């Protein structure tokens, strides 16, 4: 699974924030849900348009962004 196939950035949607498959659910939203203690099953139950791959794509996107930040500021 390649997160670039799932995470989209559209200037007119959610202020250009990275979203899941063009939906109005941002990567930040998903990460916040996970950080607050929600399980994957709970997120999927609350947002039936999301899939397990979508959640993993959000995590992969965040990891890649972190890796790029560390490379930019050694």
**pLDDT tens digits for range 5-43:** 999 999 999 999 999 999 999 999 999 999 999 999 999
Strand partners, 7: 20
Which domains, and CATH codes, for the chain? 3-68 (1.10.10.10)
- Please name the residue ranges forming H helices in 1-74: 27-35, 40-46, 52-72
Distance CA 20, CA 58 (A): 8
Which among 2, 4, 22, 3 has a CA at the least distance from the CA of 13? 22
40-66 pLDDT, tens digit per residue, is 999 999 999 999 999 999 999 999 999
Which among 22, 15, 20, 21 has a CA at the least distance from the CA of 33?
A: 20
- Token match 């998903």: residue? 30
């Amino acid at each position: 699974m390649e997160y670039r196939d799932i995470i989209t950035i559209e200037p007119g949607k959610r202020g250009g924030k990275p979203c899941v498959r063009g939906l109005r659910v941002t990567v930040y939203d998903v990460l916040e849900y996970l950080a607050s203690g929600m399980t994957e099953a709970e997120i999927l139950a609350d947002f039936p348009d999301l899939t397990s791959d979508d959640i993993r794509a959000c995590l992969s996107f965040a990891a890649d962004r972190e890796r790029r930040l560390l490379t930019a500021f050694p």
